[in-house]
A and B are shown apart, each in its own frame.
Chain A
Amino acid sequence: MFKLEFWALLVGGIGSGFIYAMIAIGYTMVYGVLRLINFAHSEIFMAGGFASFFLLKATIGSTTPTGIMSVLYIILGILGGGIVGALLAMTLERVAYRPLRNRNAPKLAYLISAIGASYFLFNMAGKEFGRYNLSMVSPYVNHTVFTIYGAPVQMYYIIIFIAALIMLVTLDQLVAKTKLGRSIRSVAQDSETASLMGVDIDKTIALTFILGGFMGGAAGFLFGLNVGVVYTMGFTPAIKAFTAAVLGGIGNLRGAVIGGLILGVVESFSVAFVNGAYIDVVAFGILVLVLLFRPTGILGERIGRAA
């Protein structure tokens, strides 16, 4: 229980768990207000990754930064990825979803449109930026910061923990305490009444996409720091993040975080039992089990209406 492997796997699992959590936020928030699975969210993640890649490539010189410069570059990466993610999400909503909302289309029409948008976006990325993996210019020197029972905790994970925690807590407080957050929650519960009470539905929905898009794009940066970026990078993490969102309770913000962490850790530990190629099956298996036996997830649908 206290062996090195256990802690190493745990650290890795929490790291990827936070990334899943950040992507899952995008799914869960959009689902909360629109009851729609934003299938194209995977491309928002990818766009954030590429945006921060180009940003860092253009700004970081030949020497790897250290100290305070590292922190600044990391913040730059997060902002770059997040802002591009937010902008793309907003555009997506405007172009692919709002026309459907205006004619009251059924749920599946959005899903098909989302798939189309997703395919359009990642293949465009492939066309414009090439179809092979690109390593990010590192804004920091990756070293082992400390060890737990012999398991090394690298700088990379520290960065993820801190960055993710800051962003997630900020978002949580924003949704729980501010007027903006209240409008989101009210639209998620009952959009008709919300609009009667003066909430601007279109703006609130756009805001939801922006917030989820920022988180997803920033997640793309954090993900890319480790494994680089490639035009197909969105697919697998996004499906897993969706699983995390469902696991935690779709529509439930804190559930997305919990679901992400649980999924990340479970996945990490299943390396010990399952052949590496089949790890993805673990996430998918969790998804099917949750949907069949407890579709409201761990925390249940909270932002949205009761079943």
Chain B
Amino acid sequence: MNIFLKSKILKQLVATLMISFLVCVVTGPSGSPTAPASGFTGSFNNKSSFFGIFSAPRWTLFVFLGLLVYVSFRIKLKYSENVSSFTDKVLFIPRKISSNQSTRRVTIGALVVFSLILPKIVTDHFWQTVLVSQIAVYVLLALGLNVVTGFAGLLDLGFVAFYAVGAYATAWATGSLPLPALFGIHIDPFFAIPVAIGFAMIAGIILGIPTLRLRGDYLAIVTLGFGEIITLFANNLYGITGGALGSNQIPHFAINIGPVKYAWGLAPVPYYYLTLVFVVLFIIIFSSLEHSRVGRSWTAIREDEVAAESVGINPLKYKVMAFAIGAASAGFAGVITAAQSNFINPASFTLYVSINVLVLVIFGGMGSIAGVVFGAVFIQAVSMYLIHTPPSGYQSQDLYIYIGALLVVMMIFRPGGLIPAKRRGRSTVHAKVQVTEGS
């Protein structure tokens, strides 16, 4: 009995230490091909300061932290049955807020007011730009992917394609691509918004119709391939898309109808407010969809496609609809990106972006609008912070090490995300409900 206890305790201790060593290496300095071990040796041996008091090799710091975590874990176990009860209570707060109508309205109101005055609080130019180009844009992307993956349960690994289509459509409509605009008419990016969204939705339908008959994991791979193909074409069709150089003449937004004249310039704040309006609009529309017959049909298809068919729901139609609607949000994000930075090229539309958006949705809460908005804001803000003030040894691509690890961790420990959707049941990532079939 004693020996068994020891071995389990020992195993957990070893596991904790291995994890802390892994974190040590991940957060440590980088290696190089000529000195491949230098990343590892540096991670362990570099001096780091313990709370500014004295300095010691990094590995001691991480062993110490690991032991600390382990010991507090064991102490916690002794005193409470469920170790994660505290975190559960914290994470349950959003659910409690949303279930009571008045607290929900107050919270939403507060958030709206907060987002309106945000540019007054955040005055640093870097952060104001980032607020639009990285945070607001990714909120839009996350909202779109949430419709596809969260509502309809379709894993789309090529979601960036719709983002790219929106951006390139904007460039085309404003005459900024080698391919001439329709009838040679250059329209302003503001009026290109419906054009771009339209193109993105069409792309969603075109991609969806052949592929949405496929099973979940095959669909994922095919959408991934499709995203890569789009990038490939964008990179190589020099005469149409400008090739690897892309387009750098996209004008800023400007409205010029009758008495209404407003031109966006280089300043990020006007873009922020425009985007905010659309974000709120999309949130309202998507939330309305979620609680409508369409949303119910998506849930039904996700839960049990055969049963859904038996009550007259056409799965292909609703899946394509999800693709098109999700693509619309991504397409609009493309417009913002194109018009704000005046410049797009294929390098901004890679698989990395699709995976990035996926992690926002998974982390925040698949199927939950509040969740994905939160996830997008949080993760993008953190990753921008890491770029703005990188800790020693941090390279910008290291972000994806953390994103990858986060995906694995979320899948294992909290697949519903931080703010899970209210309707879960047998969703894309939760445990299967055992359905026993007779003969």
Q: Which residues of A contact B (CB under 8 A)?
A: 36-37, 54, 95-96, 99-100, 103-113, 115-121, 123-124, 126-132, 134, 239, 242, 275, 277-278, 280-281, 284, 287-288, 291-292, 295
Residues in B whose Cβ lies below 8 Å from that of A287: 221-222, 225
Kindly state the separation between the CA atoms of A291 and B214 in the bound complex, as whole angstroms: 7
Interface stretch (choices B26-34, B265-273, B314-322): B26-34
- Of the residues A103, A112, A121, A284, contact of B155 by C-beta under 8 Å: A112
Q: Interface digits, B403-418 against A, CB 8 Å rule (1 contact, 0 not)?
A: 1111111111001000
B358 is an interface residue with CB less than 8 A from chain A: yes
Name B208-232 residues within 8 Å CB distance of A: 210-211, 213-214, 216-218, 220-222, 224-226, 228-229, 232
- Of the residues A54, A106, A132, A291, contact of B36 by C-beta under 8 Å: A54
Residues in A whose Cβ lies below 8 Å from that of B403: 116, 119
How distant is B198 from chain A, measured CB to nearest CB, in Å? Answer: 25
Check A116–B30 contact: CB distance below 8 A.
Answer: no
Taking A108-B220, A287-B222, A292-B210 as contacts, is the C-beta distance between A134 and B33 under 8 angstroms?
yes
Taking A105-B415, A117-B408 as contacts, is the C-beta distance between A281 and B229 under 8 angstroms?
yes
Residues in A whose Cβ lies below 8 Å from that of B25: 124, 128
Name B385-439 residues within 8 Å CB distance of A: 395, 397-398, 400-401, 403-412, 415, 426, 428-432
- Of the residues B401, B408, B428, contact of A124 by C-beta under 8 Å: B401
Residues in B whose Cβ lies below 8 Å from that of A295: 214, 218
B362 is an interface residue with CB less than 8 A from chain A: yes
Residues in B whose Cβ lies below 8 Å from that of A110: 411
How distant is B399 from chain A, measured CB to nearest CB, in Å? Answer: 8
Interface core residue of A100, A132, A134 (most chain B CB under 10 Å): A100
Check B155–A108 contact: CB distance below 8 A.
Answer: yes
Main secondary structure of the interface of B (DSSP, over half): helix
Kindly state the separation between the CA atoms of A117 and B409 in the bound complex, as whole angstroms: 10
A sample of 29 cross-chain residue pairs with beta-carbon separation below 8 angstroms, ordered by A number, consists of A99-B412, A104-B431, A105-B415, A105-B430, A106-B426, A106-B429, A107-B217, A108-B217, A109-B428, A109-B429, A111-B217, A115-B355, A115-B358, A115-B404, A118-B404, A119-B401, A119-B403, A120-B400, A123-B400, A123-B404, A126-B397, A127-B397, A129-B39, A132-B33, A277-B235, A292-B210, A292-B213, A295-B214, A295-B218
Check B232–A95 contact: CB distance below 8 A.
Answer: no
Check A128–B36 contact: CB distance below 8 A.
Answer: yes
B236 is an interface residue with CB less than 8 A from chain A: yes
Check A277–B236 contact: CB distance below 8 A.
Answer: yes
How distant is B91 from chain A, measured CB to nearest CB, in Å? Answer: 18
Kindly state the separation between the CA atoms of A107 and B216 in the bound complex, as whole angstroms: 8
Known: A107-B217, A111-B217, A281-B229. 14 other contacts (CB 8 A): A105-B411, A105-B415, A105-B432, A106-B426, A109-B415, A115-B358, A116-B410, A120-B400, A127-B30, A239-B228, A277-B232, A278-B236, A291-B222, A292-B213
Chain B residue with the shortest CB-CB distance to A287:
B225
B40 is an interface residue with CB less than 8 A from chain A: yes
Kindly state the separation between the CA atoms of A131 and B31 in the bound complex, as whole angstroms: 10
Residues in B whose Cβ lies below 8 Å from that of A127: 26, 30-31, 39, 395, 397-398, 401
Check B431–A111 contact: CB distance below 8 A.
Answer: no
Check A123–B232 contact: CB distance below 8 A.
Answer: no
Interface contact tally, CB-CB below 8 A: 153
How distant is B429 from chain A, measured CB to nearest CB, in Å? Answer: 4
- Range, interface on chain B: 35 or more
Residues in A whose Cβ lies below 8 Å from that of B236: 275, 277-278
Check A112–B32 contact: CB distance below 8 A.
Answer: no
How distant is B432 from chain A, measured CB to nearest CB, in Å? Answer: 5
How distant is B94 from chain A, measured CB to nearest CB, in Å? Answer: 22
Residues in A whose Cβ lies below 8 Å from that of B411: 96, 100, 105, 109-110, 112-113, 116
Check A130–B31 contact: CB distance below 8 A.
Answer: yes
How distant is B400 from chain A, measured CB to nearest CB, in Å? Answer: 4
Kindly state the separation between the CA atoms of A54 and B40 in the bound complex, as whole angstroms: 15
Check A119–B404 contact: CB distance below 8 A.
Answer: yes
Residues in B whose Cβ lies below 8 Å from that of A120: 400-401, 404-405, 408
Residues in B whose Cβ lies below 8 Å from that of A99: 412
10 smallest A-B Cβ distances: which pairs? A116-B407, A119-B404, A120-B404, A130-B33, A128-B31, A116-B408, A128-B39, A113-B411, A284-B225, A109-B429
Q: Interface digits, B8-47 against A, CB 8 Å rule (1 contact, 0 not)?
A: 0000000000000000011000111100100110000000
Residues in A whose Cβ lies below 8 Å from that of B405: 116, 120
Check A242–B400 contact: CB distance below 8 A.
Answer: no
Check B32–A105 contact: CB distance below 8 A.
Answer: no
Residues in B whose Cβ lies below 8 Å from that of A292: 210, 213-214
B161 is an interface residue with CB less than 8 A from chain A: no
Interface core residue of B33, B39, B155 (most chain A CB under 10 Å): B33
Kindly state the separation between the CA atoms of A101 and B431 in the bound complex, as whole angstroms: 10
Kindly state the separation between the CA atoms of A164 and B426 in the bound complex, as whole angstroms: 43
Residues in A whose Cβ lies below 8 Å from that of B426: 106
Residues in B whose Cβ lies below 8 Å from that of A109: 411, 415, 428-429
Check A291–B218 contact: CB distance below 8 A.
Answer: yes
